[in-house]
Chain A
Amino acid sequence: MSDDGRFITEVKMVTDTLEMEGVAARRFQIPLGCEDEDSPRGDDSRTIIGAANTVLELGHPSTTSICLGMITEREDLVAGDGVVVMGDELYELPPGRHSFALIVLSKVVEATESSRRALSRKLSVCDRLSGVMARVALGKIWIRISQEALDRDVTLKVIGYQLLSEIRKEQETFGKTEVILIAAEKNHIEKLRPVTEKLARETRERYKTEIKERGECENGLDCDDCPENEICQILKDAVAVSRKKKRQT
């Protein structure tokens, strides 16, 4: 069981606080099925948008970025299929780098590691929009928006639609889903950090238990503290020797 109900409640408390502090929230309920027809679609390949073609960067590694995908079996914790845009829309932001958060809350049939991974895989699908690049790693997201995308009226709302419709394609796994996109000041985004860290810690612990149960690693993949570290180092050296020999032949 890997229900994130507790963390979802915390995230909602943080977003409520942000609203009270003046970060505007716009809510869009999507008439599903037709929501992304107008979205300018790119292909499914992993687009790379170079710095020269980038107008806006959301969550660049030098700024603050948070990316959270959370699942719950509790119906009451997810308001309904919709997109919430908090802070500024893309057309309101000056060119440059901005702190950013993407949060997806999804009601699932069964809160398992498998459904959690399924949601994680979806988090970067917004780069299927033409002129948008997105990379997700370790609870962070980095989105590059080109002038081409802005000219085609790509907005955070459209990005949210895109994400929501991709998630809704897996209706056997996901029920109601809320997508929250926040482009705001660094100190606002940072308020989500404690939730991200607690969630990451819990996920890591679950994974450690899982691999321990499978007998793959007694030490929860903590190589630095593993009593077999020295033996592994010898084996690593053997791999290096073997590769060197292959290169020479």
Chain B
Amino acid sequence: MGNQTVIAVCGKGGVGKTVFSGALVRVLAERGLKILAVDADPALGLAYVVGLPTDVKTLGEVRDHLIRKARTDRDPEQIAGMMDYLLLEALTETDRLSFLAMGRSLSRGCFCPVNTLLKEAIRNIAQNYDVVLIDAEAGIEQINREVMSVVDIIVVLVDTSQRSRRSMELIAQVMGDLNMKARMGVILNRWKDLDGNGDSAVSNFEALSWGKIPEDEGLLRNDALGQSVFDLPADSPILESVRRITDTLIKT
């Protein structure tokens, strides 16, 4: 794989973004790619899904630390110097992936320069990976503001509901607002054949369809047992689907 690919997974709440992101991490790891997974959900759902501890240092905490330092030490040199150190401290590295959690900052206020500082540091770290995968809590505006300005692929996870369609439209609108040039496509999650109605719902989407993922009882069982996506059997339906989707997303 030559160039780095930045993928953001978006969609309305509860549509299954985090589990899909976890499955994608596993499939990308199987292909020998170096992955940086960014969990933009303060609940740290992705950490749990990929089997990492959830007590990691978050970028929200790094942000608070820098603001505190600016208040107390008031030394720009020192703040700039500690940036890489703090970010590496927040980076969880395993043999399968590296992981950054956005968390939530307790400092009220915009403090835009901190976001700039953090984004630049993330971009430096990200250069060392083949794929940066961002599990977005809300929309892509949060990613643009807090994580990375440039995203190559936006995956919108949808189900058969009309609300999903609306969320996809909103994401497309925000992409326009932010002048983002990413490729966008939809993946239909927990696919059920509703007497043909599901298919007609999909055909109404105005974005490219990158595939479907069926309901997977094995996944529910896995989740109930508190296991990670790396514990799923290799032939589980979700992994089979995500492998096909990955072929479309990334040409290795």
What residues of chain A have their CB less than 8 Å away from a CB belonging to chain B?
114, 117-118, 121, 172, 211, 215-219, 221, 226, 228, 231-232, 234-243, 245-246
Q: In the assembly, what is the distance between CA of A245 and CA of B71, in Å?
A: 23
Q: A216 near B110 (CB under 8 angstroms)?
A: yes
**Residue pair B80, A234 in contact (C-beta under 8 Å):** no
Q: How far is the CB of A247 from chain B (nearest CB, A)?
A: 12
Looking at the assembled complex, report how far the CB atom of A159 sits from the nearest CB atom of chain B, in whole angstroms.
Answer: 21
Q: Does B109 lie within 8 Å of A234, measured CB to CB? A: no
A245 — nearest CB in chain B belongs to which residue? B80
Residues of A within 8 A of B75 (CB): 234
The segment from B13-21, B114-122, B191-199 that touches chain A is B114-122
Given contacts A218-B109, A234-B76, A238-B79, 18 further A-B contacts (CB under 8 A): A114-B170, A172-B169, A217-B109, A219-B109, A226-B109, A231-B70, A235-B67, A235-B79, A235-B111, A237-B76, A238-B80, A238-B83, A238-B117, A239-B113, A239-B116, A241-B80, A242-B121, A245-B80
Contact flag A121-B114 (CB < 8 Å), given A235-B66, A235-B67, A242-B83: no
Inter-chain CA distance A31–B14, complex, in Å, is 44
**5 cross-chain pairs, A with B, having the tightest CB-CB distances, nearest first:** A237-B76, A235-B113, A238-B79, A241-B80, A242-B80
> Which residues of A have CB within 8 Å of B113?
232, 235-236, 238-239
SS class, residues of chain B in contact with chain A: helix
User: Is A235 touching B173 in the complex (CB atoms < 8 A)?
Assistant: no
Which residues of chain A are within 8 angstroms of B55 by Cβ–Cβ distance?
A: none
Pick from B71, B120, B176, B177: contact of A239, CB under 8 Å = B120
Instruction: Name B93-147 residues within 8 Å CB distance of A.
Output: 108-114, 116-117, 120-121, 124
Given contacts A235-B66, A242-B80, contact A117 B74 (CB under 8 A): no
Known: A235-B117, A238-B117. A117 touches B173 (CB 8 A): yes
Contact status A242-B117, CB under 8 Å: yes
* Cα(A27)–Cα(B70), bound, Å: 60
In the complex, A232 Cα to B176 Cα: how many Å?
A: 29
Give the residue of A117, A211, A237, A238 whose beta carbon is less than 8 angstroms from that of B177.
A117
A-B contact pairs, 27 of them (CB 8 A): A114-B170, A117-B173, A118-B176, A218-B108, A218-B109, A219-B109, A231-B70, A231-B111, A234-B75, A235-B66, A235-B67, A235-B70, A235-B79, A235-B117, A237-B76, A238-B66, A238-B70, A238-B80, A238-B117, A239-B117, A239-B120, A242-B80, A242-B117, A242-B120, A243-B120, A245-B80, A246-B124
